[in-house]
Amino acid sequence: MTFALFDRLRSGGFEHVLVGNDAGTGLRSLVVTHDTTLGPALGGVRMHPYPDEDAALDDALRLAQAMTLKAAAAGLALGGGWSVIIGDPATDKTPGLLRAHGRRIAALGGRFIPVNDVGTTQADLRIIGTETSPVCDTGDPSPMTALGVLEGIRACLRATGGDGDLRGVRVCVQGAGNVGAALARLLAAESARVLVCDVDPGRAAAVARETGAEVIHPSEAVEAECDVLAPCALGGVVDDRTLPLLRCRIIAGGANNVLDDPGHAAALADRGILYAPDFCVNAGGLVYLEEQLLGHDRVRAEQRVRGVGDRVSAVLEHARRDGLTPLRAALDLAEARLRRVTP
């Protein structure tokens, strides 16, 4: 990290970056709050063996900013943040390390509410919760994220001339983790034709056995001939290398930061590929978590999550009407809400 960090924080509107170091447990972490205009920042705890500190910082900043947009576009009383722990969760994770991370979060005085993400579990959050409060450590949000993505895919099908019926629609689910597996189940129940891949072949095979999906190699996902590419793993799926290889007509999935660069939104439009902005289409899990924090039941939460499709439809209609990319239309929605609340 260089002193240019402060210029980057200022230009991106970030509020806070807390650097955590604990020699006793080996903790090396970052906790980022991007914008708490609408409420406390809710974000993941991601544990990943980043190649260096700059890669960890880049990931944390991008994810924190995406959470602000997601909460604002979804109409939630939450802000955006994220935290990362540098390390391999299979070998470096210990209760002591998790508690040390919890103490760093506690230093923010409730301005950051953590939830599990890649490399962490709800059991891990309960350990973190021994040092800080509140935490989201009960009720897996992944099925609700997947449900919102399903409704977002329906909205995209309608926007491209269909009626939202998923029967026979060919969907490539990239990533067979919690969200990807849940999405594959929902798609199979709707009689979609599902392709699935994962860097862990065992996970992909398990999902295929359960849903009847066809397993493909992860390297084939971006080139798969399909109606919908549903990224449900890490971000940066659409970049300069992969963009010309795409053979889908819609991109809508559970991953954050699907576009490696915002400029790829226009490139997708030029190719006739409809992109549902990730922070709109994958907001179902965040909606569910807000419902949990408010003490509401699952039935009400599911009703709100199904509204993700309506919001995606509104964004796509705004884009069509005003000649914008869907990304620009979604940013307009989020930024307008932040402006209305800002004194």
pLDDT digits (tens, 9 = 90+) for 211-252: 999 999 999 999 999 999 999 998 899 999 999 999 999 999
In a domain, 239, yes or no: yes
- Same structural domain for residues 208 and 329? yes
- Same structural domain for residues 118 and 153? no
- Same structural domain for residues 328 and 188? yes
Q: What are the tens digits of pLDDT across the range 63-76?
A: 999 999 999 999 99
- Same structural domain for residues 171 and 84? no
Rg (CA), the chain: 19
pLDDT for residue 2 is more than 60: no
Q: Residue 120: which CATH number?
A: 3.40.50.10860
- Same structural domain for residues 33 and 156? no
Q: What are the tens digits of pLDDT across the range 72-121?
A: 999 999 999 999 999 999 999 999 999 999 999 999 999 999 999 889 99
In a domain, 297, yes or no: no
pLDDT for residue 309 is more than 90: yes
In a domain, 136, yes or no: no
- Same structural domain for residues 22 and 149? no
Cα distances (angstroms) measured from residue 232 to each of 14, 24, 98, 187, 294: 26, 35, 25, 14, 27
Cβ count near 88 (within 10 Å): 11
- Same structural domain for residues 182 and 330? yes
Angle of CA points 4, 10, 12, to nearest 5°: 100
- Same structural domain for residues 84 and 178? no
At residue 3, the pLDDT reads: 55
Alpha carbon distance 276, 278 (integer Å): 6
Q: What are the tens digits of pLDDT across the range 28-59?
A: 999 999 999 999 999 999 999 999 999 999 99
- Same structural domain for residues 115 and 204? no
Mean pLDDT of 193-199: 97
In a domain, 30, yes or no: yes
- Same structural domain for residues 102 and 157? no
How many structural domains comprise the chain? 2
In a domain, 176, yes or no: yes
pLDDT for residue 271 is more than 70: yes
- Same structural domain for residues 198 and 317? yes
In a domain, 230, yes or no: yes
In a domain, 301, yes or no: no
In a domain, 343, yes or no: no
Higher pLDDT, 341 or 212: 212
Q: Residue 326: which CATH number?
A: 3.40.50.720
The residue range of the domain holding 251 is 142-283+309-336
Alpha carbon distance 139, 343 (integer Å): 35
